[in-house]
């Protein structure tokens, strides 16, 4: 959290995550390069390294892109999301190594400066099959650089969450450019259908998982009034959002009121509601838990007090809060979002009612 920056806030999970990542990348690089040199008589070490690094970067970019929707579809994938920025930075570094090797291999021997040679070697901008695919790779690498360079929380805090998020959405443009880079580059020379099939399968997986996660999320976005038609009548402005028994202890139910996703938490005989959007990277707070009295974001562990929506001191993050009321086992939330950090008295629940409530799962 944003009090006194460090380069990396190392902990056991991050070390483990990075250890597995480094081991996975090293294993892939060794196997691919070794396999290519052993099975192809014409392959040189330089070509093998260029393809090795490029395919590893592209594979890792697929992982970066599918981790988000996978975690939304199945909570067991949440640990992969925890340190996704290191996945992204590793992807950029692998891409940079791929580009540097290719630049030296194919453009260092001429009489023009390397970069000028790279940009001007193939002038067929009007052709589709012979388009200078290198330019697509350069553009993708520039985007990945910008994302890696601004991945630290310092940039998130100072650019502001909406700008930072918009900047990092450019990863999808980089991905499209890389798919075109591969399709118009190496696949023009390597015509084995398995390679084209792998590229199509990868892109289909990325698109399919995003569509599926979006569809699931949209299904949960039905407003409180629509979900419970019997209580559509406004009750002093409050809207019934669910039954108390539908919220597991120290967890939340995510509901939509006033067009916004709200996380309604139940803890220690109390109920509080805050915005579902974490200030850090827009993580879904309602998919987190109450840990040590604080709502804890499932993505990176940012914490907020449920009554105030404020991070515990010395941290300064705040999320909007909502008024909550209980009538029997009916949970009612007022759709007006109070400014971030505004204290709201939690609704106190009747423990006897809770004891008889049936168990329920979290809606995500």
Partner 1 sequence: MDISTAQALVLGLGLYTGLGVLVALPFVLRGAGRVDPGAERAPWSFRLLILPGAVALWPLVARWWLRARRREGP
Nearest residue to 274 (alpha-carbon basis) of 230, 314, 306: 306
For residues 217 and 137, what is the distance between their CA atoms, to the nearest angstrom?
A: 33
The dihedrals phi and psi of 325, each to the nearest 5 degrees, come to -135, 150
State the DSSP H helix or E strand holding residue 61, giving kind and residue range, or none if neither. helix 45-73
For residues 239 and 250, what is the distance between their CA atoms, to the nearest angstrom?
A: 22
Nearest residue to 265 (alpha-carbon basis) of 358, 339, 331: 331
Query: Which residues contribute to the site for partner 1 (CB under 8 A)?
Result: 2-8, 112-113, 115-116, 119-120, 123, 125, 132, 135, 145-146, 148-150, 152, 154-155, 157-158
| Residue 361, Cβ density class (10 Å: 0-12 exposed, 13-18 middle, ≥19 buried) | exposed
Q: Choose between 109 and 236: whose C-beta lies nearer to partner 1.
A: 109
Q: For residue 1, how far is the Cα from the chain centroid?
A: 18
Helix/strand/coil percent split, the chain, to 5: 50, 15, 35
Q: Choose between 53 and 147: whose C-beta lies nearer to partner 1.
A: 147
Provide the β-strand partners of residue 303: 296
| Residue 174, Cβ density class (10 Å: 0-12 exposed, 13-18 middle, ≥19 buried) | buried
Q: Choose between 157 and 326: whose C-beta lies nearer to partner 1.
A: 157
Q: What tokens were used for 313?
A: 């001191």
Q: Shortest approach of partner 1 to residue 17 CB, angstroms?
A: 18
With beta carbons less than 8 A apart as the criterion, state whether 306 and 296 touch: no
Nearest residue to 353 (alpha-carbon basis) of 271, 277, 276: 271
Q: Choose between 107 and 323: whose C-beta lies nearer to partner 1.
A: 107
Q: Name the DSSP letter for residue 230.
A: G
- Map residue 251 onto helix, strand or coil: strand
Q: Choose between 2 and 105: whose C-beta lies nearer to partner 1.
A: 2
Q: Choose between 157 and 362: whose C-beta lies nearer to partner 1.
A: 157
Q: Choose between 92 and 267: whose C-beta lies nearer to partner 1.
A: 92
CB atoms within 10 A of CB 46: 13
Convert 110-131 to b/e letters by CB count within 10 Å (16 or more is b): eeeeeeebbbeeeeeeeeeeeb
- Map residue 343 onto helix, strand or coil: coil
Q: Choose between 96 and 357: whose C-beta lies nearer to partner 1.
A: 96
85 Cβ contact partners less than 8 Å away, ≥ 6 residues apart: 151
For residues 90 and 61, what is the distance between their CA atoms, to the nearest angstrom?
A: 9
Q: Choose between 30 and 104: whose C-beta lies nearer to partner 1.
A: 104
Q: Choose between 84 and 266: whose C-beta lies nearer to partner 1.
A: 84
């Amino acid at each position: 959290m944003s009090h006194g920056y460090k380069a990396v806030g190392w902990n056991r999970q991050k070390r483990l995550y990075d250890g597995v990542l480094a081991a996975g990348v090293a294993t892939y690089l060794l196997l691919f390069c070794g396999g290519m040199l052993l099975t192809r008589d014409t392959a040189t070490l330089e070509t093998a390294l260029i393809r090795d690094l490029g395919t590893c970067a592209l594979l890792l970019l697929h992982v970066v892109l599918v981790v988000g929707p996978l975690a939304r579809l199945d909570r067991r994938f949440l640990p992969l999301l925890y340190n996704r920025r290191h996945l992204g930075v590793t992807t950029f570094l692998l891409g940079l190594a791929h580009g540097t090797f290719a630049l030296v291999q194919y453009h260092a021997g001429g009489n023009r400066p390397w970069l000028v040679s790279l940009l001007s070697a193939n002038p067929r901008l009007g052709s589709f099959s012979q388009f200078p695919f290198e330019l697509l790779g350069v553009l993708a690498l520039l985007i990945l650089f910008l994302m890696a360079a601004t991945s630290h929380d310092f940039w998130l805090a100072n650019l502001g969450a909406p700008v930072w998020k918009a900047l990092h959405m450019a990863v999808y443009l980089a991905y499209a450019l890389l798919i075109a880079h591969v399709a118009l580059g190496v696949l023009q020379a390597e015509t084995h259908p398995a390679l084209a099939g792998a590229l199509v399968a990868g892109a289909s997986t990325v698109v399919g998982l995003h569509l599926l996660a979006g569809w699931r999320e949209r299904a949960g976005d039905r407003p409180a009034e629509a979900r419970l038609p019997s209580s559509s009548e406004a009750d002093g402005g409050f809207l019934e959002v669910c039954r108390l028994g539908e919220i597991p202890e120290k967890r939340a139910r995510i509901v939509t009121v006033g067009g916004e996703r709200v996380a309604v938490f139940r803890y220690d005989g109390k109920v509080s509601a805050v915005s579902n959007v974490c200030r850090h990277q827009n993580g879904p707070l309602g998919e987190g838990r109450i840990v040590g009295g604080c709502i804890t974001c499932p993505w990176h562990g940012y914490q907020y007090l449920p009554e105030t929506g404020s991070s515990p001191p010395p941290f300064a993050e705040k999320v909007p809060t909502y008024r909550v009321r209980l009538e029997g086992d009916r949970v009612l939330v007022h759709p007006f979002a109070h400014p971030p950090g505004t204290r709201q008295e939690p609704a106190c629940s009747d423990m006897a009612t809770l004891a008889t409530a049936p168990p329920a799962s979290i809606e995500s």
